[in-house]
Amino acid sequence: MAERSFKYVIVGGGVSAGYAAREFAKQGVKPGELAIISKEAVAPYERPALSKAYLFPEGFARLPGFHVCVGSGGERLLPEWYKEQGIELILSTEIVKADLAGKALVSAAGETFKYQVLLIATGSTVIKLTDFKVQGADAKNIFYLRDIVDADSLLEAIKAKKNGKCVIVGGGYIGLELGAALKINDLDVTMVYPEPWCMPRLFTADIAAFYEGYYSNKGIQIVKGTVAVGFTAHDNGEVKEVHLKDGRVLEADIVVVGVGGRPLTALFKGQVEEEKGGIKTDAFFKTSVPDVYAVGDVATFPLKLFNEIRRVEHVDHARKSAEQAVKAIKAAEEGKTVEEYDYLPYFYSRSFDLSWQFYGDNVGDTVLFGDNSPTSAKPKFGTYWIKEGKVVGAFLEGGSPEENKAIAKIAKLQPQVETVEQLKAKGLDFAMKI
């Protein structure tokens, strides 16, 4: 098979790849210097759309509408844009071997790609119930959502099973967003998760109570404290029932599983230093191997604000880490440096008419403020996290752009708090007046 050489290669074709490509173009990459090698058949796109507007029955999102970088208000990078920039998009190509010492990648078809600088942007893969040998988990109409092919398969099932029963396994991001999207499609939705409340890695019990109440009012059934341990299928192989650990059996025409992901680092095992499940990098996303950088979900990096090493799985970090790495790569070539990555953790979600944002860290004591009644016409409430007398995190549901900026600012500044009671009394005003 042919061997091809590039100055820069990005392996992975997700959000990070698109934002890295834009930054390379800004930095003056020359035609023919950069290649993106992706398993997917389409140019990089904003993955969050798949669990939201892509599944809506009307006003839905479709490519080319949500190619990067529209997610951050930038220019939409259509396949033609890459051509115009002289950036090679090598799609539908899976890399099966990486030789970091030899600066070479080998595809499933046997093609070799040589590089001078490698940017690892392989992202995560979904955890599947078949990985745990769950009985019947290979039945038809059990779905996972990671890429556009998954979303298209789910859409076909939604159309085929009009007014059918859907069981969502998992109470995190994917579970909550898909629960809303499937309910909007008039499916009978039940959510199942083992934790005492939804989104336990971020939400407090008070925050979760609002969303669970809101979802219940929309007609979504919630089953907590148990897990799916098996599935039965019809004669045609399509899923029929979900068996729960507590003995309950739920009818299902469609099952969607969202129980987390794993960073895709297997290609590089034993060749690069790892930490906390990801590839260890410095504040410029350089790995332990010269000329190899890692960004997005796969990178474990120094989080300056909290003075610790972390791995962050979120689209905001995928975008920003990619831009930082490319700036660092280009600066190093010119004998210059860039500022260290100084990231403020940021998470957000939208479902039904709801929209929340969170900034900072969710550790320490908490203060709930505002109207968190699930029956309110326009609920608006939030939570502050206080550690060692300082506000270190802030969450807001229903905030305006100005209010969301204000909670981001206090999460970054970490102001001192006199008393928890005062903070509770001031509520959102505390953030607005900083």
Q: pLDDT, tens digit, for every residue of 391-413?
A: 999 999 999 999 999 999 999 99
The mean pLDDT value for 235-239 works out to 98
What single-letter amino acid sits at 236? N
The partner residues of 257 in beta bridges, in order of sequence, read 169
CATH number for 3-125+262-333 (one of 2.102.10.10, 3.40.718.10, 3.90.470.20, 3.50.50.60): it is: 3.50.50.60
The mean pLDDT value for 72-79 works out to 96
pTM value is 0.96
Task: Tell me, yes or no, if the two domains 3-125+262-333 and 129-259 fold the same way.
Answer: yes
The mean pLDDT value for 238-260 works out to 97
Give the separation between CA 15 and CA 123, rounded to whole angstroms.
9
Look at residue 225 and give its three-state secondary structure.
coil
Instruction: Tell me: pLDDT of 388 over 80.
Output: yes
Q: What percent of the chain has pLDDT over 70?
A: 100
Q: What percent of the chain has pLDDT over 90?
A: 97
DSSP string, 83-114: HHHT-EEE-S--EEEEETTTTEEEETTS-EEE
Radius of gyration of the chain (CA): 23
Instruction: Tell me: pLDDT of 185 over 80.
Output: yes
Give the separation between CA 296 and CA 433, rounded to whole angstroms.
34
Instruction: Tell me: pLDDT of 363 over 70.
Output: yes
Instruction: Tell me: pLDDT of 1 over 70.
Output: no
The mean pLDDT value for 312-317 works out to 96
User: Under CATH, what is the fold of the domain 129-259?
Assistant: FAD/NAD(P)-binding domain (3.50.50)
Give the pairing of strands 188-193 and 165-169: parallel
Instruction: Tell me: pLDDT of 59 over 80.
Output: no
The pLDDT tens digits for 215-231 are 999 999 999 999 999 99
The pLDDT tens digits for 92-117 are 999 999 999 999 999 999 999 999 99
Beta strands (DSSP E) in 194-313 are: 221-224, 228-233, 239-244, 249-251, 254-257, 261-263, 274-275, 278-280, 292-294, 299-303, 308-311
The size of the chain, in residues, is 434
Instruction: Tell me: pLDDT of 416 over 90.
Output: yes
Give the separation between CA 222 and CA 331, rounded to whole angstroms.
51
What single-letter amino acid sits at 271? Q
Per the rule left: phi > 0, alpha: psi between -120 and 50, beta: everything else, 304 is alpha
Find tokens 């909670």 and name the residue.
407
What the block records as the tokens of 201 is 């890695």
Residue 434's pLDDT is 86
Instruction: Tell me: pLDDT of 212 over 70.
Output: yes
Return the closest-CA partner of residue 147 out of 209, 77, 94, 221. Answer: 94
The mean pLDDT value for 375-389 works out to 96
Mean pLDDT of all residues in the chain?
96
The mean pLDDT value for 323-338 works out to 97
Look at residue 309 and give its three-state secondary structure.
strand
pLDDT band for 58, please (50, 70, 90 cuts). Answer: confident
User: Under CATH, what is the fold of the domain 353-432?
Assistant: Enolase-like; domain 1 (3.30.390)
Contacts 24+ apart (CB under 8 A), 328-333: 328/284, 328/285, 328/286, 328/293, 329/8, 329/117, 329/119, 329/293, 330/24, 330/27, 330/28
pLDDT band for 418, please (50, 70, 90 cuts). Answer: confident
Burial class (CB in 10 A: 0-12, 13-18, 19+), 165: middle
Return the closest-CA partner of residue 402 out of 377, 431, 373, 374. Answer: 431
The DSSP 8-state label assigned to residue 257 in this structure reads E
Per the rule left: phi > 0, alpha: psi between -120 and 50, beta: everything else, 300 is beta
Q: Are 228 and 127 in contact (CB under 8 A)?
A: no
Q: What are the domain boundaries of the chain? A: 3-125+262-333, 129-259, 353-432
Return the closest-CA partner of residue 381 out of 373, 394, 369, 365. Answer: 369
